[in-house]
Amino acid sequence: MSYIGSAADSTTVTWTASVDAVGVTSYTVSRNGTAISKVAGSATSFTDATTAPSTAYTYTVTASDAAGNTSAPSAAASVTTPSSVPTDTVKPSVSAALAATSTTTKKVDLAWSASTDNNAVADYKISRDGTLIGTSYSPSYSDLNLAAGTPHTCTVAAFDGSGNTSDPSTGATATAYAPPSPSVTYTYDLADRLTAITSASGSATLFTIDALGRHASRTTATAPAESYSYLGSSNTVIGITSGSTTTASAIDALGNRVATAAGGSGGLPPRRSPRQYRRRPQLDRHEHHRRLRL
């Protein structure tokens, strides 16, 4: 038997397989004369993970078969474990130059100078307003889904592989960017008909809808409401009434708007007789010159 490796807290021993008429079923490994483990008959090595640093151990192994026969102990293998590795208690340096900026809606970007450690920095823990919110493996982080217009103060702490934590960095404060309000917003009903127009100042123009889905009236702030009259069931507006004033249009048989007038009664100017619009017959050039000579 021999050992092939040893650490402060473990030792691995190995042996040559035994020979038996009916087959080896198991091996028993002993340390300093006391059995510590039984392994399968196909195994030829064992790792003892219960050793202590700077300690001498002697290992032997015996083989057993299915009939209950047990071999004599193997030659002993001796080992002294090495001393333990000193525990790392050194904290990483404090992360410096933490900066917080916001150029995108509901997000704050953080960046800082990398910390140093006697071994290596493993990661950074990011806190917002005193609460841990995430981990970064590089000296930057994006804090997402923040309420627009609310200031937040963030800090960063560095960790190493031994679990040592640096002191928190100096805080950096930023306010999540709020997008500009739209200049005009439009409101529609479930049938996709415009019902309101609201300006950036909050002034609203409201529309009502008639039974045929047409705009029946419009109201803007304190101005008099406007109501609309249509040609039958069509979408052709023939009258707009605002307060005591009505603007009305006359529509011909082809649907053309031929006259528009505004007044208290909504009357239209008298229409000229169709005869007045009748085109005079055109004379040919010879007849025109003949008449001029007469």
Give tens-digit pLDDT for 178-236.
777 667 888 999 989 999 888 877 888 999 999 998 988 889 877 878 998 888 888 88
CB 174 within 8 A of CB 102: yes
Decide if domain 2-80 falls under CATH 2.60.40.10. Answer: yes
Contacts of 139 (CB under 8 A, 6+ apart): 95, 111, 112, 113, 114, 124
List the end-to-end C-alpha distance of the chain, in Å, as a whole number: 149
Query: Tokens 């190995």 belong to which residue?
Result: 14
* pLDDT higher than 70, residue 255: no
The closest alpha carbon to 65, from 95, 101, 21, 96, belongs to 21
Rounded CA-CA distance 151/20 in Å is 79
Region 96-175: CATH code = 2.60.40.10
Pinpoint the residues of the chain covered by CATH 2.60.40.10. Answer: 2-80, 96-175
Q: Chain-wide mean pLDDT for the chain?
A: 83
pLDDT digits (tens, 9 = 90+) for 50-93: 998 889 999 999 999 988 899 999 999 999 988 876 788 999 99
Which of 100-109, 216-225, 274-283 has the largest mean confidence? Answer: 100-109
pTM of model > 0.95: no
